[in-house]
Amino acid sequence: MQRLEIKINGIVQGVGFRPFVYSLACQLNLTGFIANRSDGVIVQIQGPQQAIEKFTALLSSQAPILSKPQIIYKNKIDIVDAEDSFIIKQSQTAGIRQVVVSADAAICQQCKTELLTASDRRFHYPFINCTNCGPRYTILADIPYDRVNTTMHKFKMCEPCQNEYDNPLNRRYHAQPNACRDCGPELWLCDNKNHKLSTNYPIAKAIELLENNYILAIKGLGGFHLAVRADNDKAIENLRNRKFRKAQAFALMVNDIETGSQLADISISERELLLSPVSPIVLCRKKDNSIISPLIAPHSRFQGLMLPYTPLHVLLMQGDYPALVMTSGNSSGEPIETDNSQVLAKLDTIADYFLMHNRDIFTCCDDSMVKVFDDKPMLLRRSRGFAPVPIALQSKSGKQILAFGADLKNTVSLAKDNQVYISQHIGDVENANAYDNMVQTVQKLQALVGLKPEIIVCDKHPSMMTTRYARQYDLPLIQVQHHHAHVAAVMGEHNLDGPVLALAADGLGFGDDENIWGCEFLLAKRDSFQRLGHLKSIGQPGGDKAAKQPWRMAVSYLLNTYGIPKGKELSRQYLKGVQAADINIVAEMIEKNINCPATSSLGRLFDAISALLGICIENSYQAQAAIELEYFAKDIPDSYQVNIVNKNDLAIIDPSNLIQQVITDLENNTPISIIAGKFHNYIADSSSGILCQLANKHNCSQIILAGGVFQNDILLTKTIDKLRNQKFQVYYNQKLPVNDGAISFGQIVVADAILTNTR
């Protein structure tokens, strides 16, 4: 006989872990108990040694799919007499904050089977779930994760549901959103004037409407989607016009992997991601096909795909269409809609019909987006299914820290007890509603995590909304330079202390010299950095306006390279879609240096080239010019000659000779796909050249690539190849987006290091 005490943490709450342990102990005839602790569970187990060994082996290998148990210790303790069963001790955690809140999970196979079995009591019930699947974070208002603290509190379970909920051997034991048709949430369908359609099975009617090309707003897990069938040009055009979404690619929901495979190549890793409980949008290589409309993802090599991840989606995908566009239910720039009463007012000009339900969404979550790069998942948007699961960060300061990120692609992060809780994707907080969403998210996450911030962190940009908000706190404030935060996010994710050599390349970040930075070669540690090089600065005519109108940067580069008369002439010659008068105005701004802040942004150079090649002169969405330039780029070995100037101990890429080479190619009628290909090689050559040179000089073997520019697949691949050829270890964000979605996490990493070193 033996008795063992096992302490387990990780994700073990609300994911069926306790009933799993209970049934395992019962099967093996062991006695003892399992009890919740603030940071996990304690198990005491007693019985013959062999059975105990079997128990500990199965504990990890057979754990429920959503759980991630980590055994902290296993200790032999004294045998307890007079114990005849194994029990689940009720939570005694009032007042103690549970550390890990689990994320929302896609419908599991067992629930899916019940959903489609005519004899099952939940046949076609669109809110079926169990301890392995269903809503979590999006319905949770407070902790502990009990039904009273979720938006399910208003539904009283019927007797059969309550029995399942109370039975430790049932797979719905303590499944907080447990419900059925008799006691749970219900669905209805209305038109855009809020007239309910009379039907006893709204899903059948919704399918019929989708089959007939109507646009439906559908309430999902983390918010509303706008859905339309994917094979009808007219319907897609309609959605694009109504949503003011001219060109940005749409993600699709397909019924299964087989259908998805007709639209895109799906690798084994991509398939795994699609089928995982996170069930994100996965960017797969598009295939030529005639199944879906060419208007879905024009000018993109990728097709975003996802599988039905709620029971409602499973039922809707039974319609007679190959795929559905499932795009966030919002008007341009706004956060995703979650509220029944507001959605009608906000989306009535976009959607024809609304499929609604009365299970409230407490916290909105967009669909997460992932691609597979170098055979590993690489997050592009970390939201539903990931948030708010923390990323471990060994804190040296031990302080509780709240970080506000940056204004675009905003996330906020909370650090406590060696974990960093990163919020769902919040969006661009320049939008008033997105800003409110940020403020609310901070409050909600603070409550869930039980964070009492001691330090506030934000960007150095003085006029960012996030900076201004952070300043309102009456707490010590640390402001982190934007590109240092990008680099630190990679260091934190990969557990690097530095010094590392890094390139952070993006659209903009406020520099230490008060100029706009965006292509920065840094020698970085967690708490500090030194700028060793950058792209040569140039005027950005109109400031923010230039980010929306890439042609402005083309004019700037042409004038800078050729002087005024010739630069203007070339602008008129190659920027065909731009009015001559507009070119003149911008040229004058540059000439007289009016509203032309200097920028070293690589994103803006991509803009200039894209405009110059006639690919995109005006962005209808963020980074369109760069994304389309990548789309047109041909994979060729040729490159442009690189000019690196060393000035005041800084290595500076001077792209004037690049512009000249591009113009020469244009004069010789070189196809734009070749020019775009050569340009990508030029950027990879110049970046990796400087990185290798500086890394050798400063004895760094580790190189970091960070910033939104590295969402560019071609550029990332080529740069990494060149660096690995020189035997460097290369790191970039994988668990977090390489774009500004990682900034709040990076800010935490920097602040924690600064606090440690100044103590």
Binding residues (CB under 5 A) for Fe ion: these are 506, 740
Q: What span, in angstroms and rounded, lies between the C-alpha atoms of 411 and 729? A: 28
Nearer to Fe ion, 127 or 517 (CB): 517
Q: Virtual CA dihedral for 544, 545, 551, 553, nearest 10 degrees?
A: -30
Least distance (Å) between residue 384 CB and Zn ion: 17
Instruction: Please state, in angstroms and rounded to a whole number, the distance separating the CA atoms of residues 686 and 643.
Output: 8
| Interatomic CA distance for residues 555 and 549, integer angstroms | 11
Tell the smallest beta-carbon distance from residue 743 to Fe ion (Å). 6
Amino acid identity of 708? G
Q: How far is the CB of 707 from Fe ion (least distance, A)?
A: 5
Q: In sequence order, what DSSP letters do the residues of 130-196 get, joined into one string?
A: BTTBB-SGGGB-SSS--GGGBGGGGSPPPHHHHHHHH-TTSTTTT-TT---TTTS--EEEEETT-PB
CB 402 within 8 A of CB 480: no
Nearer to Fe ion, 307 or 504 (CB): 504
Give me the sign of the Cα torsion angle 205, 206, 207, 212.
Answer: positive
- Strands (E) in 394-488, as ranges, are 401-403, 413-416, 419-422, 455-459, 477-480
CB of 168 to Zn ion, least distance (A): 17
Q: Distance between CA atoms of 153 and 179, rounded to whole angstroms?
A: 11
**What is the C-alpha R_g of the chain?**
28
Q: Note the Cα 141 to chain centre separation in Å.
A: 22
**Which residue in the shown chain puts its C-beta closest to Fe ion?**
506
Nearest distance from residue 310's CB to Zn ion, in Å?
11
Q: Output the smallest distance, CB 509 to Fe ion, in A.
A: 5
* DSSP annotation of 291: S
Strands 369-373 and 264-265: unpaired
Residue 111 interaction partner, one of Zn ion, Fe ion, none, beta carbon < 5-8 Å per kind? Zn ion
Residue 490 CA, chain-centre distance (Å), reads 15
Choice between 369 and 590, CB closer to Fe ion: 369
Closest CB 183 distance from Zn ion, rounded Å:
3
Q: Which is nearer to Zn ion, 6 or 108 (CB)?
A: 108
Rounded Cα distance, 97 and 120, in Å:
38
How far apart are alpha carbons 10 and 5 in whole angstroms? 17
How far CA 631 is from CA of 132, 565, 613, 628, 649, in Å, comes to 40, 33, 13, 5, 36
Whose Cβ is closer to Zn ion: residue 186's or residue 582's? Answer: 186
Paired tokens of 605: 């150079």
Q: What is the DSSP letter of 223?
A: S
Find which of Zn ion, Fe ion, none residue 130 binds, CB within 5 to 8 Å per kind. Answer: Zn ion
Nearest CA to 519 out of 709, 655, 362, 391 is that of 709
Task: Choose the one of Zn ion, Fe ion, none that binds residue 506, judging by a C-beta under 5 to 8 angstroms depending on kind.
Answer: Fe ion
CB nearer to Fe ion: pick between 499 and 511: 511
Q: Would you say 161 or 742 has its CB closer to Zn ion?
A: 161
Q: Binding partner of residue 116 among Fe ion, Zn ion, none, CB under 5 to 8 Å per kind?
A: none
What are the DSSP calls for 477-538, one per residue? EEEE-HHHHHHHHHHHHTT--S-EEEEEEEEEEE-TTSSEEEEEEEEE-SS-EEEEEEEPPE
Q: Which is nearer to Fe ion, 740 or 752 (CB)?
A: 740
* Closer to Fe ion by Cβ: residue 428 or 506: 506
Alpha-carbon span 182 to 162, nearest angstrom: 12
Cα→Cα distances 123→16, 116, 127, 194, Å? 23, 6, 10, 28
- Minimum CB separation of residue 604 from Fe ion in Å reads 13
Residue 121: CB minimum distance to Zn ion, A: 8
Distance in angstroms (rounded) separating the CA atoms of residues 201 and 218: 15
The secondary structure of residue 700, as a DSSP letter, is -
220 vs 708 by CB, closer to Fe ion:
708
Nearer to Zn ion, 156 or 647 (CB): 156
Q: Which is closer to Fe ion, CB of 493 or CB of 506?
A: 506
List the one residue out of 26, 129, 132 whose CA is nearest residue 84. Answer: 26
Q: Which does 465 bind (CB under 5 to 8 A by kind): Fe ion, Zn ion, none?
A: none
Min dist CB 355 to Zn ion, Å, is: 22
Q: Which helix (H) or strand (E) holds 381?
A: strand 376-381
Instruction: Enumerate binding residues for Zn ion (CB under 5 A).
Output: 108, 111, 130, 132-133, 158, 161, 180, 182-183
What are the backbone dihedrals phi and psi of residue 90, each rounded to the nearest 5 degrees, phi first? -65, 150
Q: Which does 740 bind (CB under 5 to 8 A by kind): Zn ion, Fe ion, none?
A: Fe ion
Q: Output the smallest distance, CB 635 to Fe ion, in A.
A: 27
Task: Enter the tokens of residue 215.
Answer: 């646009």
Which of 133, 508 has the CB closer to Zn ion? 133
**Backbone CA torsion sign across 619, 621, 625, 631:** negative
Closest distance between Zn ion and the C-beta of residue 678, in Å? 52
The tokens for 27 are 């099967």
In the complex, least distance from residue 630 CB atom to Fe ion, rounded to whole angstroms:
18
Q: Which is nearer to Zn ion, 109 or 495 (CB)?
A: 109
What per-residue string of b and e applies to 298-312 under the rule 16 or more CB within 10 Å gives b? ebbbbbbbbbbbbbb
Give min distance, CB of 553 to Fe ion, in A: 17
Least distance in angstroms from the C-beta of 517 to Fe ion = 9
Minimum CB distance to Fe ion smaller for 470 or for 663: 470
Burial of 338 (0-12, 13-18, 19+ CB in 10 A): buried
Of these partners, Fe ion, Zn ion, none, which one is at the site of residue 133 (CB under 5 to 8 Å by kind)? Zn ion
